[in-house]
Amino acid sequence: MAHSPKHHLSGKQISPRAVTGTESLPELIQSAFTAYNAGRIREACRLLAEKMLQPDVTVAMSLSGALTPGGFGKSCLVPLIEAGAIDWMISTGANLYHDTHHAIGLKLHAGSAAWNDVELREEGVVRIYDIVFDYEVLLETDKFYRKVMRLPEFQKPMSTAEFHYRVGRWVAAVEDRLGLTGTSLLAAAYRHAVPIFTSSPGDSSIGMNVAALALEGSQLLFDVNADVNLTAAIVWQAKEQGGKSGCWIVGGGSPKNFLLQTEPQIQEVLGLSEAGHDYFLQITDARPDTGGLSGATPGEAVSWGKVDPEKLPDAVVVYTDSTIALPLLTHYVLAEGARRTPKRLYEKLPEFLELLTKSFEAKKQERIGEGMLEM
């Protein structure tokens, strides 16, 4: 492709205004976040506010790292859900478990990473870096989950989205009774019908309690097949209805892969024609050169069919701590008025799954007719 002479010098001149202390946060980001990862935060803010939060985009967030113990559920994720900025989520079970502490009135405290952990153990204090809480917080949260999960409505196999929606109703009820409305991610997701999936449901204290109840005869099981098909169905309906799919990846790990694998599930496994997710925004502190999924770039995702190659200009990776970037991004999009009516996707999951199933069956019959179906 031919370029005009010195086309690489066509970018905006770097000449920021002096910081005065009177700027709004969006003004500060647009002016002073000029390059390096500050520049990537500026690009991420604009990508979210100007493209990803348009009405025709279905936005998924994957969530890893210990964010809810630090209160980022209440400060950022709940406002984002209420603003219609998150349509569906994939989270570690740990984030949802620790989210529950806040909602049922249990206290977490600021501490120090330099404290002696042997002493903390002797005193019955649990530490997450510089956050500390009484060991009883875990026991009380376990007790809450076991009480809820023993109810008749939980005595069956279900997707993790159904499980979290049902749990969210009980969390919301406790939140309201204690005067803590607006505290919990689970409760906000229930109120706005935002489906939350967990890619590794046994890998958290919630999963541990489910396993414990199985020993006493509980019929609760997580249907991981339903999770795979429902997440793919959400993406398929978004694209088939003429819309777009946006991925907002906070951290990495299993939730990131579970979100991105929706496209290979559609294309590679189900054999349906699709090009990949349209928008890719990741906040990570992982390096790409170690080969780990957490640091994998959007370019690498293109090779798997996870991201539309034509949409790479709309892919941003911010290499920084999620606890720094998430409040900045949340403030920016809310200050810029990037609000939408919540899509309430949980209520539409059966319809989406039916659409995916019909498309898959039609493709299978087409392949049979062409003699291409392999056993």
Between CA 76 and CA 309, with CA 283 as vertex, the angle to 5 degrees is 125
Going from the C-alpha of 78 to that of each of 191, 227, 250, the distances in angstroms are: 11, 23, 15
* Residue of 306, 311, 358, 363 with catalytic role: 306
Between CA 56 and CA 60, with CA 59 as vertex, the angle to 5 degrees is 155
How far apart, in whole angstroms, are the C-alpha atoms of residue 86 and residue 91? 12
Length in residues, the chain: 375
Going from the C-alpha of 372 to that of each of 47, 122, 273, 280, the distances in angstroms are: 41, 65, 16, 34
How far apart, in whole angstroms, are the C-alpha atoms of residue 363 and residue 360? 5
306 is catalytic: yes
Q: Are 141 and 174 in contact (CB under 8 A)?
A: no
How far apart, in whole angstroms, are the C-alpha atoms of residue 216 and residue 303? 46
Which two tokens mark 347?
A: 């209520």
Q: Are 210 and 243 in contact (CB under 8 A)?
A: no
Strand partners, 318: 283
Q: Are 288 and 297 in contact (CB under 8 A)?
A: yes
Residues belonging to the active site: 306
